[in-house]
Amino acid sequence: MTASCGCASSADWRTRPDFDLLLEFNEILTKACDNDPRQRYRSAKELGKDLTLLQTGLSIKRKRVLNRRLDALKTAIWIAFLLAAAVVGTRFASITFKPAEYVPKLSGSAEATDFYNQGRYFYQKNTGAALRQAIDYFQKAVDKDPSFALAHAALASSYCWGIEDFKVDFVKARQHAEKALALDDNLAEAHKARAWVMSKVDWDWPGSKKEFKRAVELAPRDPSVHEWYGTFLGGMGWFDDSIRELKKAEKLDTGLSLSIRMLLGGCYRNARKDELAIRQFQEVIGLETNAASMAYVFLADLYELRHEFSKAIEVRDRSDRLVGKEDTDTVSRRYEELRGALEDHGAAGYWRHRLAWARQIQDSYMVARFNAQLGDTNAAFAALQTEFEHHSAELAANVVTDRYLDNLRSDPRYDRLLRDMRLK
């Protein structure tokens, strides 16, 4: 908006000797008559100040430009202040409410620390033979320094794998976990191991979950904590939570642990996400070329559950050859007999043959599985009762989610078993 004075044309204005003064006066008129009331003078006193300024020969336009720049600078400074406050506040909150991850102490003995580090090297290999070597080194570490909490926690984790005798190994796992926590209650690995023992031996599911959550709280960036917690959740049938934890473990693991991928495949299998499970197992097998991986066993189990028996035989044959506990002729003969049973008698022949093997090695849990597949529910529950009486870790790990037992779930005896195990 531009105010006009008299009837002279704009060309006439420019020839006037007071043209610059009129432009300055027009700035005052423009502000006084602005369409937006918020932009007008707030009082006659404020208008008077600009008129006085004009009379002294100072520029109203220059004043306005300067004021706008000052306002913009003030706004920029205020925004910068708010942003800085937000950053400082966020950092303060992260320090206050999310304290730095606890860093456990190493031993004061250089020799004990060296034994511990060597044990870690073998532990990460994730095979039975290497785990035995790891236990040996961890034990040497605590022999050198009985107060070395980290080494006790590592021994607890190692014994949780039950590579020799589950009952004996779990006793040792508990002892070392408790010793570690008595020395340092902030050791996530010791809480993790105690949680594992509580689930497998005590069947204390709420207590186990509490211990796992404590371990996660202490070491949120430790992939093994998320791995074990995810496995526990999967055993409880909480598949979404289990998959979330295992994927966290996979993301955090810099060593690209194949066991995490394999366990994730196992969770997919139990959750009936078969295609995802097969892909996971095959991926692990592809990365562990010529290694006796448990991925073979998990994959063969899934093929059995899908009644793809020929594929299951092929995978088990390959697995047993890689394990190398028996000569190749013995392995060949076993699976030729299984192929013959399948060809002659179909699925029933296959399961009967598998049942005979399970009885031969006195594996009550496998006996229950195969009897369930054959429809012999009485024999299946008798075998499960044996497992219950022996407080079987395998029963604890699988009974909620095991698809081999699907034929038993509608039977009242199955609900009774879950109640007896405090799972319902």
> 398 lies in a domain?
no
Q: Among 30-39, 64-73, 375-384, where is mean pLDDT lowest?
A: 64-73
The answer on 48 and 74 residing in a single domain is no
Same domain, residue pair 43 and 66: no
With respect to residue 70, please indicate whether it lies within any of the assigned structural domains. Answer: yes
Confidence grade of residue 3 (pLDDT, cut at 50, 70, 90): very low
Q: Which residue has the higher pLDDT, 76 or 168?
A: 168
101 to 98, 187, 189, 252, 363: CA distances (angstroms): 8, 11, 13, 14, 43
pLDDT computed for residue 310 by the predictor: 97
Region 54-66: mean pLDDT is 58
Q: Are residues 16 and 42 in the same domain?
A: yes
Mean pLDDT of 269-292: 89
- Looking at the 3D structure of the chain, how many domains does it have? 2
pLDDT at residue number 28 = 64
At 213, list the tokens: 């959550």
Is there a domain that residue 417 lies in? no
Phi, psi of 410 (to 5 degrees): -80, -10
Note the pLDDT of residue 115. 94
* CA–CA separation, 348 and 367 (whole Å): 14
pLDDT beyond 80 at 99: no
pLDDT band at 37 (very low <50, low <70, confident <90, very high): low
The long-range contacts involving 384-387, CB below 8 angstroms and separated by at least 24 positions, are 384/408, 384/417, 385/417
Residue 88 is assigned to a structural domain of this protein: yes
Put simply, whether the predicted model's pTM sits higher than 0.85 gets the answer no
Specify the range with the lowest mean pLDDT, choosing from 102-106, 147-151, 373-377.
102-106
Residue 74: inside a domain, yes or no?
Answer: yes
Q: What is the mean pLDDT of the chain?
A: 84
Lowest-pLDDT range of 25-34, 90-99, 188-197, 234-243: 90-99
- The Cα 342–Cα 157 span in angstroms is 41
Q: State mean pLDDT over 22-49.
A: 65
Query: Which one of 91-100, 141-150, 157-166, 318-327 scores highest in mean pLDDT?
Result: 141-150
Give the per-residue pLDDT at 103: 77
As a whole number, mean pLDDT of residues 166-176 equals: 92
Q: Residue 390: what pLDDT?
A: 92
Share of the chain above pLDDT 70, in %: 75
- 386 located within any domain: no
Mean pLDDT of 103-132: 87
The pLDDT, as a whole number, for residue 351 is 98
Residue 41 falls inside a structural domain: yes
3-state secondary structure the chain: CCCCCCCCCHHHHHCCCCHHHHHHHHHHHHHHCCCCHHHCCCCHHHHHHHHHHHHCCCCHHHHHHHHHHHHHHHHHHHHHHHHHHHHHHHHHHHHHHCCCCCCCCCCCCHHHHHHHHHHHHHHCCCCHHHHHHHHHHHHHHHHHCCCCHHHHHHHHHHHCCCCCCHHHHHHHHHHHHHHHHHHCCCCHHHHHHHHHHHHHHHCCHHHHHHHHHHHHHHCCCCHHHHHHHHHHHHHCCCHHHHHHHHHHHHHHCCCCCHHHHHHHHHHHHHCCCHHHHHHHHHHHHHHCCCCCCHHHHHHHHHHHHCCCHHHHHHHHHHHHHHHCCCCHHHHHHHHHHHHHHHHHHHHHHHHHHHHHHHHHCCCHHHHHHHHHHHCCHHHHHHHHHHHHHCCCHHHHHHCCCCHHHHHHCCCHHHHHHHHHCCCC
CA distance 405 to 373: 8
pLDDT number for residue 161: 87
With respect to residue 15, please indicate whether it lies within any of the assigned structural domains: yes
Q: Is the pLDDT of residue 5 over 60?
A: no
- Last residue within a domain, chosen from 99, 119, 148: 99
Span 33-58, average pLDDT: 63
b/e per residue, 289-301, with b = 16+ CB within 10 A? eeebbbbbbbbbb
Of 99, 126, 155, which one is at a domain's C-terminal end?
99
Number of residues written out for the chain: 424
Q: Do 53 and 26 share a structural domain?
A: yes
The residue segments making up the domain with residue 24 are 10-58
pLDDT band at residue 137, thresholds of 50, 70 and 90?
very high
State what percent of residues in the chain have pLDDT above 90: 62
Q: How far apart are CA 172 and CA 1, in angstroms?
A: 90
